[in-house]
């Protein structure tokens, strides 16, 4: 049982920040509608995670590694899990594993920074940076937790909390994000956007006109 | 992209289904019959005396893959169900809609409309392909009569009226059914649609196909987090998967009925594939059932146009797509539930 400044029901999963910053509807689909599509894309993601998601401790070249560490912040009302936290001396260094390409993205940075804020509160030490590890390119991109990025985390966090407590599904963005979104088949961005088309298709169901010509022939 | 995963049908009496690492292994008399990766399966359907290990049942329940047991006549017996998961907000809306006469009626009307329209399409096609002009005319008359029912349905807002029109349409449709049968019309006469127990081969074949389809509609409803028992067209009754049966309705003509007709007309199923039990009940033989399953699975792979998605999808995914559209409608994302029209 976690007690703190933020009542239990307003705790936000760290991953929700990343989802929200990609697309608010995606965040609501996952965290309100509990949508999880087992498609190739997510399965691959899961395979990457299965390898790193084993809680435990390992040592690599003088760096202590914690896998699957549960992270939380009473102050922010955030809770989640780190793929890997390396300890460079006493300084924690979170590493998040991504299966995608090495493209830098704000969404990943927000998630990582939120992990850092939790680590700082849990361990009482500053966490200046971390890294995103891109599995497909085996490339590690370092992220510095600047004051701007930290500020961005708290702003997005408030937006997420507002969205989740409203329990409403935001409209589909229906733009270039959708084709790359793993939830596209559940979200149905095009059908839900085009109200007129749905009306017309329902009319089709009761349309007897066209075939009438054929029948009387 | 949602994948069309396979259903594994285990029909060998005494077979044992167990988990072997990340695969499902089917054995009989100590010998391996089959081994498939878990990730390739959406579900397992067992007929009669088939044993499934607890590890398989737990793993499948956890992944929301399905394990279904049918008795040796192919009737539903049991289903392995994991913890209730998914979206309480959606289920709440599903119940709210069931309490609202207007919302229920609108959904039921759309479903019945889809069913009648799909039945008309099937009859229309049969009418075109029939060389006998008198029969063709009778089929066309049926298409026209169904159009009349559809017109009345369009204006219907009362659930009982909608159900009545559905019954009327079904009687009219099955009344002309035999004209779509081109081979062994005597042996495969429908003699009216009767449910349990079937006493003629056509009814036995249809019942079996509807059972398979219902199982998939239950899985589709659960897959999107809907309660398969709370439906709109079908009245609520303990033990009845009313919502799954709702989803079945619009798919029956184009998925099950069309397949049944094709099996007979192409002589893929013959009288030999049925057995008569003392007392007159008729059901598919083991060999007949296998044939039907193979044909059904092949049919599920067929790509068909889906008007709402505006692209082609395999027939096997249609129940899942429809369950999603219904979920989107219930959560206020879509103004209407739109049934699938086969074209
Ligand atoms: S498909 Fe598009 S609108 Fe839907 S969740 Fe994904 S990005 Fe957002």
B1 pLDDT tier (thresholds 50, 70, 90): very low
What pLDDT does B47 receive?
87
What pLDDT does A36 receive?
66
Average pLDDT over residues B101-108: 97
What pLDDT does B337 receive?
97
**What distance in Å separates the CA atoms of residue B225 and residue B92, rounded to the nearest whole number?**
11
What ipTM was assigned to the predicted interfaces of this complex? 0.81
pLDDT in tens, B200-226: 999 999 999 999 999 889 888 887 889
In a 3-state reduction of DSSP, which class is residue A140?
A: strand
Residues with CB under 6 A from ligand 1: A 23, 25-26, 29, 172-174, 177-178, 181, 183-184, 187, 189
**What residues of chain B lie within 8 A of the CB of A190, using their CB?**
309-310
CB-side neighbour CA atoms (13 Å) of B137: 3
What pLDDT does A101 receive?
67
Average pLDDT over residues B113-132: 95
Q: Is A89 exposed, middle or buried (0-12, 13-18, 19+ CB in 10 A)?
A: exposed
What pLDDT does A73 receive?
93
Known binder of ligand: residue B249? yes
**What distance in Å separates the CA atoms of residue A131 and residue A88, rounded to the nearest whole number?**
13
Say whether pLDDT at B17 is over 60.
Answer: yes
What pLDDT does B3 receive?
59
**What distance in Å separates the CA atoms of residue B80 and residue B43, rounded to the nearest whole number?**
10
Choose which residue among A35, A178, A192 to substitute to test ligand 1 binding: the one with the highest number of ligand atoms within 8 A of its C-beta. A178
Q: Tell me which chain A residue has its CA closest to the CA of residue B155.
A: A206
Average pLDDT over residues B269-294: 90
Would you say B216 and B79 are in contact if contact means Cβ atoms under 8 Å apart?
no
Would you say B79 and B73 are in contact if contact means Cβ atoms under 8 Å apart?
no
Average pLDDT over residues B123-135: 93
Cis status of the peptide bond prior to A82, with omega within 30 of 0: no
CA end-to-end distance (rounded Å), chain A: 75
Average pLDDT over residues B312-341: 92
What pLDDT does A215 receive?
44
**What distance in Å separates the CA atoms of residue A14 and residue A41, rounded to the nearest whole number?**
21
Say whether pLDDT at A28 is over 50.
Answer: yes
pLDDT in tens, B19-32: 998 899 999 998 99
**What distance in Å separates the CA atoms of residue A7 and residue A79, rounded to the nearest whole number?**
13
Of chain A, the percentage scoring pLDDT greater than 90 comes to 52
In a 3-state reduction of DSSP, which class is residue B37?
A: strand
**What residues of chain A lie within 8 A of the CB of B39, using their CB?**
43
Which has the closest alpha carbon to B142: B178, B112, B108, B182?
Answer: B178
Q: What is the DSSP letter of A164?
A: H
């Amino acid at each position: 049982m976690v007690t703190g400044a933020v009542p239990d029901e307003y705790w936000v999963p760290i991953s929700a920040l990343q989802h929200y910053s990609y697309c608010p509807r995606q965040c609501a689909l996952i965290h309100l509608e509990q949508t999880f599509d087992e498609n190739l894309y997510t399965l691959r993601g899961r395979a990457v995670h299965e390898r790193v998601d084993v809680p435990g401790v390992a040592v690599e070249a003088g760096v202590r590694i914690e896998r699957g560490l549960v992270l939380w912040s009473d102050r922010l009302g955030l809770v989640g899990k780190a793929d890997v936290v390396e300890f460079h001396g006493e300084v924690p260094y979170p590493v998040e594993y991504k299966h995608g390409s090495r493209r830098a993205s704000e969404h990943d940075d927000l998630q990582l920074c939120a992990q850092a804020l939790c680590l700082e509160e849990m361990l009482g030490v500053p966490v200046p940076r971390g890294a995103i590890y891109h599995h497909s390119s085996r490339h590690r991109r370092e992220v510095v937790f600047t004051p701007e990025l930290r500020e961005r985390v708290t702003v997005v966090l408030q937006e997420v909390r507002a969205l989740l407590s409203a329990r409403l599904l935001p409209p589909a963005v229906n733009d270039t994000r959708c084709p790359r979104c793993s939830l596209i088949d559940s979200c149905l961005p095009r059908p839900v956007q085009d109200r007129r088309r749905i009306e017309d298709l329902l009319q089709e169901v009761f349309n007897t006109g066209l075939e009438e010509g054929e029948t009387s022939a | 992209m949602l994948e069309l995963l396979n259903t594994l049908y285990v029909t060998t009496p005494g077979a044992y289904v167990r988990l072997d690492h990340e695969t499902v292994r089917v054995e009989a008399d100590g010998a391996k019959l089959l081994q498939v990766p878990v990730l390739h399966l959406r579900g397992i359907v067992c007929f009669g005396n088939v044993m499934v290990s607890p590890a398989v049942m737990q793993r499948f329940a956890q992944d929301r893959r399905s394990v279904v047991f049918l008795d040796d006549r192919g009737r539903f017996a049991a289903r392995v169900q994991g913890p209730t998961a998914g979206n309480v907000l959606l289920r709440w809306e599903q119940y709210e809609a069931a309490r609202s006469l207007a919302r229920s009626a609108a959904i039921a009307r759309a479903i019945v409309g889809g069913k009648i329209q799909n039945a008309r399409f099937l009859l229309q096609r049969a009418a075109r392909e029939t060389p006998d002009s008198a029969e063709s005319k009778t089929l066309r008359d049926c298409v026209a009569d169904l159009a009349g029912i559809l017109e009345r349905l369009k204006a219907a807002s009362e659930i009982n009226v909608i159900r009545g029109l559905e019954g009327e349409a079904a009687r009219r449709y099955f009344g002309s059914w035999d004209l779509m049968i081109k081979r062994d019309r005597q042996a495969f006469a429908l003699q009216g649609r009767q449910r349990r127990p079937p006493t003629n081969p056509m009814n036995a074949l249809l019942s079996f196909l509807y059972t398979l389809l219902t199982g998939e509609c239950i899985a589709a409803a659960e897959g999107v987090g809907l309660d398969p028992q709370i439906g709109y067209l079908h009245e609520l009754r303990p033990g009845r998967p009313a919502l799954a049966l709702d989803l079945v309705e619009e798919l029956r003509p184009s998925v099950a009925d069309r397949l049944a007709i094709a099996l007979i007309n192409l002589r893929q199923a013959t009288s030999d594939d049925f057995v008569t039990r003392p007392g007159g009940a008729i059901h598919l033989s083991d060999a007949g059932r296998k044939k039907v399953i193979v044909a059904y699975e092949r049919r599920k792979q067929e790509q068909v146009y889906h008007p709402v998605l505006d692209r082609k999808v395999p027939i096997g995914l249609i129940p899942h797509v429809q369950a999603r559209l219904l979920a989107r409608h219930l959560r206020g994302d879509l103004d209407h539930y739109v049934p699938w029209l086969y074209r």
